[in-house]
Copies of this chain bind each other. A is one copy, B any other.
Amino acid sequence: MSQMPVECKGDNWCPITATANLIGKKWHPVIIHRLIEEGPHGFNSLKEEIGGISSKVLSESLDDLQEKNLLDREVVSEKPVRVKYKLTEAGESLEPVIEEMLVWGRSNLVESDTI
């Protein structure tokens, strides 16, 4: 089936900047990557796996990704509340992009000890 295109307002229309604007927030790529690699996840589970992100920022990021139709939120049970975050088709289709970022990062970046 056809994928629903994500809308994109104004800008000087350019597929690259538009994409950058979608996944350009600090934690977006990792969140998407974790969901690609490990499938649907709950909030805290995701938080721990990512490491270093605060509840607030994770929450905001998830909201943002959802707004952009890259992610779905599904309430699994109530009491205790359980939620699953999973990628939409559009979200999953980002895999090549994320994968290239991963590959590039691995071979071109080096952790600095000088901190």
Contacts and interface: CB of A to CB of B under 8 A. Distances in A.
A109 B8 contact: yes
A106 interface: yes
Oligomer copy total: 2
Contacts of A33: 16
A30 B9 contact: no
A108 to B, nearest CB: 6
A5 interface: yes
Contact of A7 (B14, B27, B112): B112
Given A12-B52, A24-B24, A30-B16, A100 B96 contact: yes
Given A24-B24, A96-B100, A100-B96, A105 B7 contact: no
Interface string A73-115: 0000000000000000010011011111111111111111011
Q: How big is chain A's contact interface, by range? A: 35 or more
Contact of A6 (B12, B102, B110): B110
Contact of A17 (B5, B8, B30, B100): B30
A55 interface: no
A42 to B, nearest CB: 20
B17 A110 contact: no
